[in-house]
């Protein structure tokens, strides 16, 4: 992405921008600046894998219990114990997959504890997250029911850290085999006659840390062994994801690709955005100044660098790009909300998080030739979540709305763009002010998503359209007056998309009045 300032614009573009800007709510008194963009619709790129929009639900805090699962006897409306309001909200996102049961929890989870009559299931201590009692009332059957209710695919994370090869092999058989066998018949006894489809499976989680503190050479051999016994039963083909690197550990990726690249389908990458880059004091989710806003966005943009570097290593061993990069943990990580359990990782979600989501999704789409999928952490009540709940109360977050607006990109063909953007400058630091991505869906509609990282200045974006004749443009915008604007149970609609009238068409030129600190999605 180029970051050179644009010195002048066409007179018509400036006139259109001024007229369009007057139709939008004012978010800044600072004079607007400009960016230029060329959208090359006649030169289509790779298809954007819908799995980039994956979600993550771990047995952590109130993600599962209270967030997704309330039990069949709860006064909160539910279907077989799963919250109806959460299901309805998640269905709107067209979620491609949900990663479960962890996370670090996955490597202490033993699947047999979560099947059969709930009153007979053994209890355990969740030693990783809060030391609370896990009663295993939400297990395999409940998770698969949840996936079917929201219309998504399960992404099952197997226990390598404290589990056995046999345990993982038998879980796969229990889930996916239609044979007349002891494990398939046990599934039938527990209420599910036909096997489920499980097309995604992780062979362990963070094996360099909470999943076993392994060296890459050792984990490569462990992966090869466990992977051997993850069987494809008739009618089910599993995409196997090896546990990959944390952030910039390039050696892990190099060793895994060299020693096990031929056995894997995907390789994971985990990277979290911390405003301070200090795990002991990460910063508040809601009480922050512009310096923290800027630092958060600057650190989240490192994702592009990390994906590029890991992809380059993968290219060395896999030039055909057979192995997909799966960023199955990403998102903002702040200090927990005051008064909450530190082990529950509950944090609010503001307009800043919406901007972070938009930037990361653009990065994944930019690398659509290598990035197979990504899973934001996490779905409900944990870290950068889609939904917050409190008993019967529920609200969606600004991040939820970015996923809802961007779902038009899922499965669409990426379209190359050339973007020249001014910088957003704060002190001695600077980042690109505008981020963008474009795609064409199967119906032929072109969608352009834009993010303005600058919280103070509107930006006039002049877009030259090549290879497409646009007759009309519509869109929506997500923004707010304050940087820390967020939804609460008392004010659930404080941050939500509204119709966008700041885009105009003149022949092959699209002009967009992009408000400060905003996410905009346009349909041509």
Catalytic residue numbers read: 206, 329
CA dihedral 499, 522, 483, 19 (to 10 degrees): -70
Structure token digits, residue 22: 């007057």
- First and final CA of the chain: distance in angstroms? 23
**Among candidate residues 461, 454, 456, 455, the one with its CA nearest the CA of residue 436:** 461
How many whole angstroms separate alpha carbon 271 and alpha carbon 383? 13
Q: Nearest Cα to 139, choosing from 69, 79, 206, 211?
A: 69
Q: In a 3-state reduction of DSSP, which class is residue 405?
A: helix
- Burial (CB < 10 A; 0-12, 13-18, 19+), residue 514, is buried
Instruction: Tell me if 303 sits within 8 A of 325, measured CB to CB.
Output: no
Angle between helices 250-260 and 302-317 (to 10 degrees): 30
Residue 246 in tokens: 């944390």
Measure the CA–CA gap between 272 and 287, rounded to whole angstroms.
19
**What Å distances lie between residue 141 and 147, 152, 194, 410, 412, CA to CA?**
10, 15, 12, 28, 32
> What DSSP line would sit under 268-317, residue for residue?
EEEEEE-SSS-TT----SSS--HHHHHHHHHHHTHHHHHHHHHHHHHHHH
């Amino acid at each position: 992405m180029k970051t050179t300032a644009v010195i002048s614009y066409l007179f018509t573009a400036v006139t259109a921008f001024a007229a369009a800007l007057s139709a939008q709510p004012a978010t800044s008194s600072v004079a607007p600046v400009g960016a230029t963009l060329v959208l090359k619709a006649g030169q289509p790129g790779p298809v954007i894998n819908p799995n980039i929009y994956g979600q993550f639900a771990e047995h952590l805090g109130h993600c599962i219990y209270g967030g997704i699962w309330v039990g069949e006897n709860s006064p909160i409306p539910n279907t077989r114990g799963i919250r109806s309001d959460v299901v309805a909200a998640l269905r709107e996102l067209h979620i491609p997959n949900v990663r479960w049961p962890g996370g670090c929890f996955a490597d202490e989870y033993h699947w047999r504890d979560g099947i059969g009559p709930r009153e007979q299931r053994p209890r355990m201590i969740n030693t990783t997250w809060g030391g609370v009692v896990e009663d295993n009332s939400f297990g395999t059957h409940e998770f698969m029911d949840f996936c079917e209710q929201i219309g998504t695919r399960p992404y099952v994370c197997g226990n390598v850290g404290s589990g056995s090869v046999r345990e993982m092999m038998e879980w796969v058989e229990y889930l996916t085999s239609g044979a007349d066998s002891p494990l398939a018949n046990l599934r039938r006894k527990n209420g599910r006659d036909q096997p489920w489809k499980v097309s995604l499976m992780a062979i362990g989680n963070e094996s360099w840390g909470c999943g076993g503190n392994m060296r890459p050479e050792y984990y490569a051999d462990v992966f090869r062994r466990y992977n051997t016994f993850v069987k494809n039963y008739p009618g089910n083909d599993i995409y196997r994801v090896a546990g990959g690197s944390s952030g910039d550990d390039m050696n892990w990726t190099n060793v895994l690709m060299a020693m096990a690249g031929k056995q894997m389908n995907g390789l994971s990458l985990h990277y979290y955005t911390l405003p301070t880059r200090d795990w002991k004091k990460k910063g508040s989710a809601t009480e922050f100044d512009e310096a923290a806003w800027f630092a958060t966005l600057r650190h989240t943009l490192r994702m592009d660098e990390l994906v590029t570097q890991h992809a380059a290593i993968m290219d060395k061993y896999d030039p055909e790009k057979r192995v997909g990069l799966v960023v199955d943990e990403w998102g903002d990580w702040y200090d927990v909300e005051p008064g909450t359990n530190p082990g529950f990782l509950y944090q609010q979600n503001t307009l800043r998080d919406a901007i972070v989501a938009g930037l990361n999704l653009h990065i994944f789409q930019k690398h659509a030739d290598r990035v197979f999928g990504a899973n934001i952490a996490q779905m409900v009540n944990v870290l950068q979540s889609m939904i917050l709940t409190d008993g019967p109360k529920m609200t969606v977050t600004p991040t939820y709305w970015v996923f809802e607006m961007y779902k038009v990109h899922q499965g669409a063909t990426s379209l190359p763009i050339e973007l020249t953007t001014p910088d957003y400058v704060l002190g001695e630091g600077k980042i690109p002010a505008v981020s963008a991505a474009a795609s064409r869906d199967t119906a032929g509609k072109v969608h352009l998503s834009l993010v303005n990282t600058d919280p103070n200045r509107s930006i006039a974006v002049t877009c030259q359209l090549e290879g497409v004749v646009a007759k009309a443009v519509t869109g929506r915008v997500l923004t707010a007056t304050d940087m820390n604007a967020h939804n609460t149970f008392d004010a659930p609609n404080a941050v939500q998309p509204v119709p966008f009238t700041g885009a105009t068409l003149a022949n092959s030129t699209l002009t967009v009045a992009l408000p400060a600190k905003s996410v905009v999605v346009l349909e041509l």
